[in-house]
Amino acid sequence: MPALTGQSPEALAAWLADHGEPAFRAGQILEWVWKKKVTSYDAMTNLPAALREKLAAHFPLTALTHTTTQGSADTTRKFLFKLHDGRYVESVLIPANPALYGETSDRRTLCVSSQVGCAYGCKFCASGLAGFTRHLDPAEIAGQVLAAEQLSGQRVDNLVFMGMGEPLANLENLLAAIQLITGPKTLHLGARHLTLSTSGLVPQIRQLAEHPQQIRLAISLHGATDDVRQQIMPINKKWPVAELFDALDYWNSRKNQKLTLEYILIHGINDDLEQAAILARHARRLHAKVNLIPYNTVEGLDWVRPSDTRCRAFRDVLKNAGVSATLRLEKGHDIDAACGQLRLKQETTEGLIAPAPIKAR
Ligand code: SF4
């Protein structure tokens, strides 16, 4: 049964009309759910009891059941949610003022998941280890933001779709969720505070370029040439860098927002300064900024983080070429070491996925 938090204002109004309810009830219900953020139908005190009962019989209020929080109010917090089919999904709330992906931020940022598991198998990522299970629906995506605000008591003012899953592989549900997140009657967060991160799905990048909202795009690049990138990103075999950069040129022709190129630095794999020089040329042409992220160990994978000296040298090649580049050198905490790890542990414990992690190489 679809949750109330997945209903668009139009769908809710249509449902109310079908059930003989006056149109103004839609506004009241949306206000309770998205603005007052109540957690039960009983709290919707200006609705008649009969309508509350009817709503409860048709829609669970939310699609997510919170099970665990790791971290505390002044550190990064990871929320684990159980879904209706027993699967798990996680969201990470990053508080104001830590260095976020190399930049100091005064915004509270939520890292949102878009799928259970992931089919894309990027070699540095825990989410890809157990393969793909299913897409999240709009209530399960937008509901993460609402739940994070309920649990933290704080407004989330920045979203990054960098949690579990490849958001562009679930584009239809993602766009429906974005309507709920940005809509004036629902969460009302500005589209330019949303960043979608993709492993490089070329057709969907082109499709999203036509979307009217000024959503930001980040590319999980991690290699500036095909031979290097495809060691890390299996998707590169399907859409090599030349096709990816063509799609990014198209994106730039349709959007005003600056692209971000994400680049995890892995010792001996992609940290050669020649890669830095090639990356600099691409980034300059695309007017993109580059986030350099020294590799953090993932259980089951055996890559190594480069030295700080090598990371700085890589960054300096970019900076000297006039590219805006950030580098976060402090070690990742256990909690934010990689997306998908908490869910992976929980589902393994419950026997939902096989315990043995796959070796990267
Ligand atoms: S980085 Fe993203 S696209 Fe790649 S395997 Fe992990 S979740 Fe999937």
Q: Assess whether 79 and 36 both reside in one domain.
A: no
How many Å lie between the centroid of ligand 1 and the Cα of residue 180? 24
- Nearest 5°: phi and psi at 90? -130, 155
Q: Is 328:101 a contact under the CB 8 Å cutoff?
A: yes
CATH at 43: 1.10.150.530
- Is there a single domain that holds both residue 54 and residue 96? no
Q: Whose CA is nearest to atom 4 of ligand 1?
A: 122
How much is the pTM?
0.90
Cα separation, 279 vs 351, whole angstroms? 42
Residue, of 303 and 227, whose pLDDT is higher: 227
Catalytic residue among 111, 118, 122, 339: 339
Residues 210 and 329 in one domain: yes
On whether both 52 and 70 belong to a single domain, the answer is no
Give the nearest ligand 1 atom to 198 CA: 3
Percentages (nearest 5) of helix, strand, coil residues in the chain:
40, 15, 45
| Sequential DSSP letters for 68-136 | EEES-TTS-EEEEEE-TTS-EEEEEEE-SSSEETTEE-SS-EEE---EEE-SS--TT-STTTT-EEEEP
- Is 149 designated active site? no
Most informative mutation of 91, 92, 112, 120 for ligand 1 (most atoms within 8 A of CB): 120
pLDDT in tens, 66-123: 999 998 777 789 999 999 999 999 999 988 765 444 455 668 899 999 999 999 999 8
Residues 182 and 315 in one domain: yes
Cα-to-chain-centroid distance, residue 344: 17
Residue 124 Cα to ligand 1 middle (Å): 8
Domain closes at, from 15, 40, 58: 58
Q: How far is the CA of 236 from the centre of ligand 1 (A)?
A: 13
Longest CA pairwise span in the chain (Å):
69
In 3D, which of 292, 290, 241 has the Cα closest to residue 264?
292
- Give CA–CA dist 286/218, Å, rounded: 12
pLDDT (tens digit per residue) in 324-357: 999 987 654 444 434 555 565 566 566 665 543 3
**The pLDDT of residue 74:** 74
Measure 310 CA to ligand 1 centroid, in angstroms.
Answer: 25
Residues with Cβ within 8 Å of 177's Cβ and at least 6 positions away in sequence, in order, are: 138, 141, 142
Instruction: Determine whether 122 is an active site residue.
Output: no
Tell me the CA–centroid distance for residue 52 and ligand 1, in Å: 40
Residue 331: CB atoms within 10 Å: 11
116 and 244 fall within a common domain? yes
Alpha-carbon distance 322 to 259, whole Å?
Answer: 15
Q: Which atom of ligand 1 is nearest to the CA of 340?
A: 7
Please indicate, yes or no, whether residues 204 and 173 belong to a single structural domain of this protein: yes
Residues 189 and 296 in one domain: yes
Of 114, 115, 116, 127, best ligand 1 pocket probe by most atoms within 8 Å of the beta carbon: 127
Q: What is the pLDDT of residues 144-175, one digit of tens each?
A: 999 999 999 999 999 999 989 999 999 999 99
**Residues 182-204, buried b or exposed e (16+ Cβ, 10 A)?**
bbebbbebebebbbbbbbbbbeb
Specify the ligand 1 atom closest to the Cα of 233: 4
Do residues 97 and 172 share a domain?
yes
Residues 27 and 112 in one domain: no
pLDDT, residue 356, reads: 37
- The label of the residue with tokens 């103004």 reads 24
Give me ligand 1 centre to Cα 339, in Å. Answer: 8
* 356 in any annotated domain: no
Identify the CATH number of the domain in which residue 305 sits. 3.20.20.70
Q: What is the mean pLDDT of the chain?
A: 89
151 with 131, same domain: the answer is yes
Query: How many independent structural domains does the chain possess?
Result: 2
The residues lining ligand 1, judged by C-beta closer than 6 Å to any ligand atom, are 118, 120-122, 125, 127-128, 164-166, 199, 220
| Same-domain pairing of 50 and 77 | no
Task: Supply the range of the domain harboring residue 308.
Answer: 65-349
